[in-house]
Amino acid sequence: MTDATTHPFDDALALTSLEPGTYLGKTSPAYNNMVGPFGGLTAATLIRAIELHPDRHGDPISLTINFAGPITEGEFQISTRAVRTNRSNQHWYLEVSQNGEIATTATAVFGTRRETWDDDEATPPDAPAPSELEQSGFPDFIAWARNYEMRFASGALTEEASDSSTITLWVRDTPSRALDFTSLTSMADIFYPRVFQRRGTYVPAGTISLTIHYFATAEDIAAQHDSYVLAHAHARRFHRGYFDQSAELWSSDEKLIATSHQVVYYKD
């Protein structure tokens, strides 16, 4: 891509300031899901809204987004409010509204990081190098997935039921794009619903609530550039219409850069 060309992801994140803390956005057909926009893009757009706020302090530490209702094609508004700023962290409340109704609520924590004692208890999942795996993805009718290059080590979408919900894949934007906090946010929701994998078929399903914890610093993000991210997720229980999902995102040099946790509804 040339410098004069914007990336489709950045086009989809575009926001116009209406007044301090309030932004106007528009859904992007390129990032549509089966119903409404891709949830990862919605989450990323909220991070972008805070990044644009003149009072923003530091980088993302956590984001919790609750999908209260559907977002339909067209314009939407995001309201952002810093509810408290401390010495090292800043707490935000956000709402996405459309046609006078609240569609999404969220809270976020931004902050600065300092040099401290560090240790890693988590270990990356075993996976062949991306070059050893074939590129694949989701069916063409899932528009947002066409914006990612995916190479599955396990859990590729098939029509066969599985005893395991575990999925492991290498992923990066296509066309190539250097990682930043917004694209990392979007990748935290890169996984198709775990119930599809267990049942080997599509069923109505959608995320209700998603929380992302960020471990990457700005320096970690810059070092990653446009390399593959190793994404790994699994569920723990499917019960009476809801299941959970826990995920890890690893940099190409095996650093844990984010985790996510969500609850998903499904019908059967």
**Hey, where are the domains in the chain?**
8-111+133-266
Q: What confidence tier does 34 reach under pLDDT thresholds 50, 70, 90?
A: confident
| Average pLDDT value for the chain | 96
**Contact criterion met (CB below 8 Å) for 234 and 168:** no
- Which token pair is 55? 């009072």
The amino acid present at 267, given as its one-letter code, is K
Percent of the chain with pLDDT over 70: 99
Average pLDDT over residues 150-165: 96
Give the span between the Cα atoms of 172 and 122, in whole angstroms: 22
Q: Which amino acid, 173?
A: D
How does pLDDT run across 180-214, given as a tens digit for each residue?
Answer: 999 999 999 999 999 999 999 999 999 999 999 99
For the residues 116-131, what does the mean pLDDT come to? 97
Q: What does each C-alpha distance from 151 to 72, 168, 172, 266 come to in angstroms?
A: 31, 9, 9, 26
pLDDT of residue 236: 98
With CA atoms as reference, report the closest residue to 259 among 215, 227, 223, 203: 215
Nearest CA among 34, 53, 33, 40 for reference residue 13: 40
In this predicted structure, the answer to whether residue 235 has a pLDDT above a threshold of 90 is: yes
Read off the pLDDT band of 11 (50, 70, 90). Answer: very high
For the chain, how many helices (H) and strands (E)?
A: 5, 13
Cα distance between residue 22 and residue 18, in whole Å: 6
Which two tokens mark 186? 């979007």
pTM of this prediction exceeds 0.85: yes
* Domain covering 8-111+133-266 in this structure, CATH number: 2.40.160.210
pLDDT at residue 268, as a whole number: 84
| Encoded amino acid at 96, one letter | V
Which residues neighbour 188 within 8 Å (Cβ) at sequence distance 6 or greater?
Answer: 40, 43, 210, 212, 247, 249, 258, 260
Rounded to whole angstroms, what are the CA distances from 225 to 12, 105, 178, 228, 232? 20, 31, 4, 9, 20
